[in-house]
Amino acid sequence: SQKIEQNSEALNIQEGKTATLTCNYTNYSPAYLQWYRQDPGRGPVFLLLIRENEKEKRKERLKVTFDTTLKQSLFHITASQPADSATYLCALERSGGYQKVTFGTGTKLQVIP
């Protein structure tokens, strides 16, 4: 069956370091992979989208990689700040047809001052 895995354990890092979050998937051929940020009590907020034919995408301090051979995406936050503390969700979307997106369970990031 199709499965998306994100590290369910919280990730604690020191301010200023690079945070790296992982999204692995199996039995899936996504056309797009998206990363969202979710703060407690709020809806997810879109951060980045990467397509299957793209290896890397950057936006300010954020970087996403997409390896369709390894079936893995890595999400990096450089020079992390306490304000980056949140839960980060990855979402995979198939191509063609109607919009159907599958979300991972998310990884909680805590940046320690």
Contact residues: other proteins, CB under 8 A: 4, 8, 32, 34, 41-46, 49, 89, 91, 93, 98-106
110 neighbors 7 (Cβ within 8 angstroms): no
Of 27 and 42, nearer to other proteins (C-beta) is 42
**Min. distance of Cβ 113 from other proteins in angstroms?**
28
Of 100 and 113, nearer to other proteins (C-beta) is 100
Of 40 and 113, nearer to other proteins (C-beta) is 40
SS3 percent helix, strand, coil of the chain, rounded to 5, is 5, 55, 40
**Min. distance of Cβ 65 from other proteins in angstroms?**
19
**Min. distance of Cβ 62 from other proteins in angstroms?**
14
56 neighbors 63 (Cβ within 8 angstroms): yes
Spatial distance between the Cα atoms of 9 and 80, rounded to a whole number of angstroms: 18
Spatial distance between the Cα atoms of 16 and 72, rounded to a whole number of angstroms: 25
